[in-house]
A and B are shown apart, each in its own frame.
Chain A
Amino acid sequence: MFPVWEVPNIGSGWVIGLIAVLHVFISHFAIGGGAFLAFTEQLAYKKNDDRIYDYLKKHSKFFLLLTTVLGAMSGVGIWWAIGLASPNGTQTLLQNFSLFWAVEYIFFALELATFLAYYYTWDKLDRKTHLKLAWIYIGISYFTLFAINGILTFMLNSGGWDFTKGNIGDAFFNPSFWPALGLRMFIMMALAGIYAFFTLSREKTMDLDVKAYLLKYSAKWLLPAVILGPLFVIAYLFTLPEPTQQVIINGLSTIGVGNFSIMAKAIFMTMVFAVGLFGMVLAGPYLNPRAFNTSFAVMLLAAGFGFMFTEEWSREMMRKPYVVYNYMYSNGLRKFEVDKVNKEGFFNHHKFAGAELTTLKPNDELGKGQLMFRYQCTSCHTAKGNGYRSMKVMLATRDKDAIKNLLTMMKENHIVDNKGVAKTMYHGYMPPVVGHQDEIDALATYLATLNSDPAKTTTAKVESSNS
């Protein structure tokens, strides 16, 4: 096991989230935008229209800059962030998919090489040959989508896959693979349209009729998402693990109080963003292309990013409390180890935590509790302040006894009866607390100090009434 990375106040989840979504937002463009270039070049070729060619040259420059510079930076950023925040998760991913990652990297290099060739030969190759390069690019980038999709869907839904002797092919083509692949494709096409709106809006010298034509044309790239998207979402939801389905259905209609309120909120916002984008594209570039300008384009990009953010966030939440479904929790704990750790004691089991414990004074309850919190809770919670899922806020008025009860419940988190019905309400979004009773009591002692100022807690009560 590795040490835990802590980001004060925002919590490591948000840092990973923002970098990851930025990366997704760009890398999806690398695929969808590639398809856009190819199909549009095909169109220009057929119409033999220089004006479309001129636009494509500029658009491909934008494409190159964005995907290589920002795309690569955010990609490295992700590995750095998950590597630090959840080293065990990364390890499992690397172990099980090392072959795929290697292939992925080769394809990424190929992708880049093809695109550079494509970009620098606009005026050097004849149009027919150049067009072929575009199709080659699509072929390669589509393969990366294929590979990534297998990995992501596996993390969310490992099905009944056996981690010790399962067949890697079954892991890859897990039940969610095909619906998720379709959805990603539609989203990529939609994003390609949205990015094209942006570069089109920057065109100052383009003939207005051509611009209007291309805006309308780009708007049609959202059609598959609009028409087929909902069907695929339903298909996708049916492939998810049963408990996840239940949580989604119950959560949506009673968001204010549901256990899984955050996930329901994320899913709900994904739908709102989708509807909003549809309305904006319809009223804007599709029906009113002549009045379209950069401000509108930026609003569309922002809405697109919002959609990606909530969509990726929903997917992450569905997998909570796991990093790899049914196998490893977000805080690095492996599911099959739970009973063992409870027997051995947390600090005996976890080498790094145990080492840190020895640096404390022998009877430092508070320090011990804080360590428990660092290692078991900070992958999802901040301690003080109003940060990401702040413990101080969530615990509010609870005293030490109440906190002890809560931790006892959290200890039984993973226990479900043979129908899959959980013993505690925390099941499905938090990993169980693990450790000996004295270790858990130390955690309670620490948590109880977060809100020990009684004056503050009473005002918090009044204020919470209208928030």
Chain B
Amino acid sequence: MSIPTLKNLNIVQTVVDWLDERVPLKAAVEFAGHKEVPVHKHSIWYYMGGIAALFMGIQFATGFLLMFHYVPTFEGAYASVQAINMQVPFGWLIRSMHSWGANVFILVLFIHMFSTYFMKAYRAPREFTWLSGLGLVGIAMVFGFTGYMLPMDEIAYFATKVGVDVAGESPFIGPYLAEFVRGGSEIGQVTMNRFFSLHVIALPLAMMGLFGLHATLIQLQGISEPESIQKLPKAERKYEKFFPDFFKKDVFVWFAVFVAFMLVVTMKPWGLGPQVDPAAMAPIGIKPEWYFLSQFQALKLFPAKILFFDGVHVAMVFIGTVFGSLAVVPILDSTGKIPFISKFATVYGVIFFIGWLFLTIWGSL
């Protein structure tokens, strides 16, 4: 670095240079610019990962703030959430953002998952990007489940109870699993401790770690192109640098999505039901959150007994297999060179998507 004289002193440049000698800034920017984003008519799906990242950020930030006032006890939780909603300045806002955000986050993840699936972005060398992504959806859904219980209003309590009871129906391990999750035979303070520490410590760490892997892989491998674009002659394929070009578009879209999000958050602030009375009967028609509805509905469709097996057990194995197939089918199609498997993956995806949508809607009726 040359010593600045009064004549050529440029403050910004000097600071940047000083920093760059200690922290490899320019190398980082160059690394980020190294990745190229294809520009074509399906490019809109490339925003989904970024939007998911935005909501991950919103969840971490608002969750952190909620912890300033939330009291994780079986008896005190409800009152603390009530206070957040009514007394804490802007508490209503933070809570509404966190609760709506959880739902929008998962919705965006589903869109991201299906779009990368249908663009066949999971193909070699991106198998681990896909698998880490699946892990992230899984974590997000557990986030949702554990978070849902925390306000301890009527629906929170009973939806959790139903959820844990369903898990308890899994073959072989079911009862042990339910017992372990509850920390006893009933939902109580110990359950709360477990849900809370999962929700605020274990899951965030897992999500950050897995997202780190996901993002690093993407950075190293670049963004894939769908087949239809790969077939085009080189001259017709356009690219732009991820940083700063695509990133600025990302930021634009973030602001747009954020405003739309805040519209819902503000106009329909997240409510709080009546306080739970665990001794009372569960109100009729308790349903899980929408992202568990497809599984919930599927469960109901199985008869009580199938041959020698319990219907529920068969159902649990079936549902597990269907969701597990999301990790298997893309791996089978990872070369993309076997036309039959490639076709099969597409058709399978369509059936999965329609089935999932259908069951979710049916379940909500």
Contacts and interface: CB of A to CB of B under 8 A. Distances in A.
B252 A296 contact: yes
Contacts of A296: 249, 252
B90 interface: yes
B140 interface: no
B272 A465 contact: yes
A467 B271 contact: yes
Interface string B215-258: 00000000000000000000000001000110011011011101
Nearest to B269: A256
B92 A303 contact: no
Given A279-B251, A283-B251, A464-B271, A291 B262 contact: no
Given A257-B85, A462-B273, A462-B283, A272 B262 contact: yes
B231 to A, nearest CB: 24
A289 to B, nearest CB: 10
Contacts of A255: 92-93, 266, 269
B207 to A, nearest CB: 24
Given A256-B85, A265-B267, A272-B262, A303 B248 contact: no
Nearest to B89: A253
Given A273-B259, A284-B252, A467 B268 contact: yes
Contact of A291 (B87, B90, B249, B255): B249
A198 interface: no
A265 B266 contact: yes
A272 B266 contact: yes
Interface string B179-223: 000000000000000000000000000000000000000000000
Interface string A378-418: 00000000000000000000000000000000000000000
Contacts of B267: 265, 269
Contacts of B252: 279-280, 283-284, 288, 296, 299
A254 B86 contact: yes
B256 A276 contact: yes
Interface string A215-256: 000000000000000000000000000000000000001111
Contacts of A459: 285
B333 interface: no
B80 to A, nearest CB: 15
Contacts of B262: 269, 272, 276
A264 to B, nearest CB: 9
B256 A303 contact: yes
Interface in B136-162: 153-155
B263 interface: yes
- With most chain A CB atoms within 10 A of its CB, the pick from B85, B244, B256, B274 is B256
B266 A466 contact: no
Contacts of A52: none
A257 B95 CA distance: 14
A306 interface: yes
Nearest to A302: B256
Nearest to A273: B259
B268 A466 contact: no
Nearest to B99: A466
Contacts of A373: none
B249 A465 contact: no
Contacts of A269: 262-263, 266-267
A268 interface: yes
A15 interface: no
A79 B271 CA distance: 39
A291 B241 CA distance: 12
A22 interface: no
A467 B87 CA distance: 19
Contact of B255 (A257, A276, A464): A276
Contact of A256 (B92, B155, B256): B92
A273 B256 CA distance: 9
Nearest to A278: B255
A212 to B, nearest CB: 13
B263 A306 contact: yes
Contacts of A268: 266
B185 to A, nearest CB: 26
B87 A254 contact: yes
A112 interface: no
Contact of B248 (A273, A287, A462): A287
A466 B155 contact: yes
A280 B263 contact: no
Interface string B72-111: 0000000000000111011011001000000000000000
A406 to B, nearest CB: 21
B129 to A, nearest CB: 25
A276 B283 contact: no
Nearest to B248: A288
A254 B95 CA distance: 12
A296 B283 CA distance: 47
A284 B271 CA distance: 36
A253 B85 CA distance: 10
A254 B92 contact: yes
Contacts of B271: 464-467
Nearest to B154: A465
A123 to B, nearest CB: 37
Interface in A256-270: 256-257, 265, 268-269
A279 B259 CA distance: 10
A401 B162 CA distance: 39
A254 B89 contact: yes
A453 to B, nearest CB: 17
A25 B89 CA distance: 33
Contact of B249 (A254, A276, A288): A288
Nearest to A280: B255
A465 B155 CA distance: 7
Contacts of A467: 268, 271
B89 to A, nearest CB: 4
A288 B255 CA distance: 15
A272 B285 contact: no
Nearest to B265: A272
A291 B248 contact: yes
Contacts of B92: 254-257
Contacts of A272: 259, 262-263, 266
B289 to A, nearest CB: 9
A345 to B, nearest CB: 39
A166 B273 CA distance: 53
Given A283-B255, A296-B252, A465 B93 contact: no
Contacts of A288: 244-245, 248-249, 252
A387 B116 CA distance: 39
Which 10 pairs of residues, A with B, have the shortest CB-CB distance? A465-B273, A276-B259, A279-B255, A256-B92, A283-B251, A288-B248, A253-B89, A283-B252, A284-B252, A280-B255
Interface of A: 253-257, 265, 268-269, 272-273, 276, 279-280, 283-284, 287-288, 291, 296, 299, 303, 306, 459, 461-462, 464-467
Given A284-B252, A461-B274, A465-B272, 20 more contacts: A253-B89, A254-B86, A255-B92, A256-B86, A256-B92, A265-B266, A269-B266, A269-B267, A272-B259, A272-B262, A273-B259, A279-B254, A280-B255, A280-B256, A288-B252, A291-B245, A299-B256, A306-B259, A465-B154, A465-B155
Interface of B: 85-87, 89-90, 92-93, 96, 153-155, 240, 244-245, 248-249, 251-252, 254-256, 258-259, 262-263, 266-274, 283, 285
13 contacts: A257-B85, A269-B262, A276-B262, A279-B251, A280-B256, A284-B248, A284-B249, A288-B248, A296-B249, A299-B252, A464-B271, A465-B153, A465-B272
